[in-house]
Amino acid sequence: MNPAGISLQSVDAGYDHGHVLQGLSFSVEPGEMVALLGRNGSGKTTALKTIMGILRAQSGRIEFSDIDITDKATYKIAGLGIAYVPETRGIFASLSVHEHLTLVGAKSGWSLDRIYDTFPRLAERRSHRGSKLSGGEQQMLAIARALRMGPRLLILDEPTEGLAPVIVEEIATIIEGLKHEGMTMVIVEQNYAFAARIADRIHIIGRGRLRWSGTPAEFDADDEVRFTWLGI
Amino acid sequence: MMLLDPGFLIIQTLNGLQLSMLLFLLSIGLSVVFGLMNFINLAHGTLYMIGAYLALSAVRLFDSFWIALILAPLGVAMVGAVLYALLLRHLQSRGPMSQVLVTFGLIFVGIDAVRMIWGPLPHGLPVPDVLDGRMEILGEVYPTYRLFIIAVGIVALIGLYFGLERTRLGAMVRAGVDDRTMTAALGINIDRVFFLVFCLGCWLAGVAGVISAPVFSVFPGMDMSILILTLIVVVVGGPGSLWGAAVGSLLIGMVDTYGQILAPEFARATIYALMAAILLLRPHGLLPARPIH
């Protein structure tokens, strides 16, 4: 694995009815784990979709590992080494667990054996279709599928949302393991305690711009920032 | 009374099955392409007609139905590929209206083109010698060639089932139908997958054209009536799904065949009524591929 960094420079993007991102800039260093925090509608998910080329940046520039990916097609961005686990998990209803894991597979990615060792639940369910999985199983499958791609940057959009505490713990362990291996990660979280526990750095997004940036310790200490941009 | 005669039932069911299999060969390509990209190609019937005409020329050149069966569908796939590269590719991002108008226009271009190349008169294609006979099936005598058509459809269904369910390309197609954006986010070039599926669909339409040529006459506009039935199959079966196309073809093929005999004056009306009823009860068709959220 060869972790890579990413940077957004004054990115404007959004949907037909208006800009959600309004000059968003932030960067993630190689091997760093960054948590993006912000209220609902602040632009976190939009930022991730724009990185992936699912939404087009109307202006600004996105660089991954010093390559300009602003106008690249989604499949090419993925091919450069960015794996994306969307909020909706993106599990295919008609594919089995095993098919999800064999659909993609890079040499640099995790082997099937390693995946099934790390996620025993997926091994048990390997012939089940995506539509038959529980929320926690879907989340694990989405992460496992991303790891099969051998990413240099892993993007996780609310990986713990709506999951039972036991499963959240299991996913936290896996994410921490990836961090120890030096994987560059961007994670969007509503669970601030969880985010502060695992992240190296926290970026707070509010109304489509970067509002604050600092370490988890600084985040804990700064009551005003937390109140202004997160309401806590 | 006719319905109580087993001989009548067997013959008509085989006729219905024959039509069903032709409809299946035509509808599966249209259906998967629509399921993958929401792309509607009304000129799909034109490719069927071109298949029949290319078979005509290939038989004249090589004097062999079997060579025609190999070459003509490949020719149709190439016509499809060129059409895609020059025209259809640019329609993908446009709305359904441009797709419908342009591909509807292609139907008339196709009819005029075959009229200019092969002439306005109907042609026939002889049944290949090996299949030019009759077979006894369940005590009834039935033309061997028509059984061959049914067999081709069944082989195509089995082949497509394995291709779709057991290969990586098939998994990519299903993934693309389920969630196109996520498929691209996995690094899969969905446009290329779509192109391959489109060409395969054209190839199957070409096969349908070749094998139907010895049974129906080959003439400019032969694509019109089967195109309507094919579109109904796609809608009734549910776009994007192999089983939807198979079940839809069987249903429409049988209803049309029995309808023509039992109540010829209402046959088409019956089909439209059936389609309307199914869409009222199941707006996404009988067996849609896409999960309904």
Task: Specify the CATH number for the domain of residue A128.
Answer: 3.40.50.300
Q: What number is the average pLDDT over the span B141-166? A: 94
- Name the residue ranges covered by the structural domains of chain B: 15-220
* Residue-level pLDDT at B1: 62
Q: Are the beta carbons of B182 and A86 separated by less than 8 Å? A: yes
Q: What is the pLDDT of residues B74-92, one digit of tens each?
A: 999 999 999 999 988 888 7
Name which of A1-5, A197-201, B64-68 the model is least confident about. Answer: A1-5
Q: Are the beta carbons of A94 and B182 separated by less than 8 Å? A: no
Q: What is the pLDDT of residues B256-283, one digit of tens each?
A: 999 988 888 888 888 999 999 999 999 8
Is the per-residue pLDDT at B289 higher than 80? no
To the nearest whole percent, how much of chain B has pLDDT over 70?
98
B178 contacts in A (CB within 8 Å)? 92-95, 130
Q: What is the pLDDT of residues A58-81, one digit of tens each?
A: 999 999 999 999 999 999 999 999
Is the per-residue pLDDT at B290 higher than 70? no
Which is more confident, B17 or A108?
B17
Distances B83 to A198, B41, B195 between C-alpha atoms, Å: 53, 11, 11
Rounded to whole angstroms, the Cα distance separating B150 from B229 reads 17
Is the per-residue pLDDT at A157 higher than 60? yes
Q: How far is A218 from chain B (nearest CA, A)?
A: 34
Structural domain includes residue A217: yes
Range of the domain at A16: 6-230
Give the chain B residue nearest A104 (alpha carbons): B186
Closest CB to A74: pick one of B168, B184, B291: B184
Give the chain A residue nearest B188 (alpha carbons): A75
Is the per-residue pLDDT at B174 higher than 70? yes
Closest CB to A90: pick one of B172, B182, B289: B182
* Residue-level pLDDT at A1: 57
- Chain mean pLDDT for chain B: 91
Instruction: Give the pLDDT band of residue A88 (cuts 50, 70, 90).
Output: very high
Q: Counting every residue, how long is chain B?
A: 293
Angle between helices B223-237 and B267-281 (to 10 degrees): 20
Instruction: Give the pLDDT band of residue A193 (cuts 50, 70, 90).
Output: confident
Is the per-residue pLDDT at A104 higher than 90? no
* Residue-level pLDDT at B138: 85
Instruction: Say what the ipTM of the complex is.
Output: 0.93
Give the chain A residue nearest B292 (alpha carbons): A93
* Residue-level pLDDT at B291: 54
Is the per-residue pLDDT at A145 higher than 70? yes
Instruction: Give the pLDDT band of residue B292 (cuts 50, 70, 90).
Output: very low
* Residue-level pLDDT at A55: 94
* Residue-level pLDDT at B262: 87
Rounded to the nearest angstrom, the gap between the alpha carbon of residue B239 and the centroid of all alpha carbons in its chain is: 13
- Choose from A54, A82, A99 for mutation: most chain B CBs within 10 A: A99
| Burial class (CB within 10 angstroms; exposed 0-12, middle 13-18, buried 19+) of A68 | exposed
Structural domain includes residue A1: no
A131 contacts in B (CB within 8 Å)? 291
To the nearest whole percent, how much of chain B has pLDDT over 90?
71
Q: What number is the average pLDDT over the span B226-247? A: 92
Instruction: Give the pLDDT band of residue A33 (cuts 50, 70, 90).
Output: very high
Which is more confident, B51 or A225?
B51
Instruction: Give the pLDDT band of residue B293 (cuts 50, 70, 90).
Output: very low
* Residue-level pLDDT at B228: 92
* Residue-level pLDDT at B206: 96
**How is residue B263 annotated by DSSP?**
-
Report the domain count for chain A: 1
* Residue-level pLDDT at A105: 74
- Chain mean pLDDT for chain A: 92
Buried b (16+ CB within 10 A) or exposed e, A70-98: bebebbebbbbbbbbbbeebbbbbbbbbb
* Residue-level pLDDT at B2: 67
* Residue-level pLDDT at B11: 92
Rounded to whole angstroms, the Cα distance separating B204 from B193 reads 17
**Is A69 in contact with A11 (CB distance < 8 Å)?**
no
Q: Are the beta carbons of A149 and B186 separated by less than 8 Å? A: yes
Question: What is the per-residue DSSP string for B70-128?
Answer: HHHHHHHHHHHHHHHHHTGGGGTTS-HHHHHHHHHHHHHHHHHHHHHHH-SS-B--PPP
**Residue B184 touches chain A, beta carbons under 8 Å:** yes
**Residue B190 touches chain A, beta carbons under 8 Å:** yes
